[in-house]
Amino acid sequence: MALVKRTRVEENLFGQLVIGPPSSGKTTYCGKLAKLYKEKLNRDVAVINLDPANENMCYIPKIDIRQLVSLENSMAQFNLGPNGSLMYCMEYLEENFDWLLNQLSSIKNCYLIFDMPGQVELYTHHSSIKNVCEKLQNLNYNLCCVHMVDSHYCSDAPKFISTLLLSLSTMLHIGIPHVNVLSKADILKANSTKLDFGIDFYTDVLNLEYLLDVLDDGPLTKKFKKLNAALVDLVQDYSLVSFILLNVFSEKSLMNLKSAIDKANGYIYGSGEERNIQSLLSCAIGARTATERFDVDYM
């Protein structure tokens, strides 16, 4: 197989790495976003599957890591479990980076969407994906990390604290522009009465001391109350974590997230796409309450 020389790409190429825990909606988002870009914005887009365990794709990938390495074969060959096999696959991708670069060289003038694996360890302390990102950035690929987390974690204070820490750890480890997303916002809206605080508390990550006040006083939670307080202080000290709500079935919600991502990685759109954006974003102005903003922007 002929491999391309590792030289900087003359033009700036843009894209996003869609990461997050399993069942957070990454693959569905990739499919919906690719369709929106093509049909509404006339933006050429290529979806790239880098998840060797992804078998139910709702899109046709331009590049599929399963052509390089298979999760099932790795498990069988090395007697690994699913998590260990995923780590091996990412290490194999890093070692065979020229394969990925050769595949990317055949994609011209396209915005890139990378559908990534769901194992969180790959983004908190494992180095392979981080190293692949650094190599792509050195070749003029301008990438933004889109970290998707299921919004149902907002309904439980300890889980939300864990989500905050996971998001912060990922941001610091991967080290590229980063947008945190609470997915399945339509479900969050339907169950908003079960939340301890308003929706903007979770998106803007306001005074987290209030989270400690609603923790269950049960024996297990009480035992770790000081630890939770320390974690909350850590997240607040960095002041990096905030979230954007996403309902993948709403064009307005997708467009709102798209704007944040384009700002993060510096994507500059053409005049034709700008006109399409303005027509899609024509909606009521002046919503004042958090609930009204939610209805306008995400439903």
pLDDT score, position 288: 39
**CA–CA gap between residue 181 and residue 200 (Å, rounded):** 13
pLDDT score, position 193: 73
Domains held by the chain: number: 1
Is 231 exposed, middle or buried (CB count within 10 Å of its CB: 0-12, 13-18, 19+)?
buried
pLDDT score, position 158: 86
Instruction: Give, in degrees to the nearest 5, the angle at Cα 80 between 77 and 84.
Output: 125
DSSP secondary structure of 227-289? HHHHHHHHHHHHT----EE--TT-HHHHHHHHHHHHHHHT----HHHHHHHHHHT-------S
Residue 6 counted as domain residue: no
Q: What DSSP designation does 214 have?
A: T
- Domain boundaries, position 60: 13-298
Residues of the chain with pLDDT under 70: 1-11, 216-218, 268-299
- Is residue 250 within 8 Å of residue 27, measured between CB atoms? no
Residue 72 counted as domain residue: yes
pLDDT score, position 187: 86
pLDDT score, position 285: 40
Beta-carbon contacts of 196 under 8 Å, excluding residues fewer than 6 positions away, are 157, 210, 214
Residue 186 counted as domain residue: yes
User: Tokens standing for 33?
Assistant: 């976003």
Residue 7 counted as domain residue: no
pLDDT score, position 47: 97
Residue 118 counted as domain residue: yes
Is 122 exposed, middle or buried (CB count within 10 Å of its CB: 0-12, 13-18, 19+)?
buried
DSSP lists the bridge partners of residue 114 as 17, 48
Beta-carbon contacts of 201 under 8 Å, excluding residues fewer than 6 positions away, are 210
The CATH number given to whatever domain includes residue 44 is 3.40.50.300
- Is residue 188 within 8 Å of residue 199, measured between CB atoms? yes
pLDDT score, position 276: 53
Residue 50 counted as domain residue: yes
In three-state secondary structure terms, 79 is coil
What residue ranges in the chain does DSSP mark as E strands? Answer: 13-19, 45-49, 63-64, 111-115, 141-150, 178-183, 244-245
pLDDT score, position 7: 53
pLDDT score, position 280: 54
Residue 92 counted as domain residue: yes
- Is residue 149 within 8 Å of residue 181, measured between CB atoms? yes
Residue 2 counted as domain residue: no
pLDDT score, position 173: 96
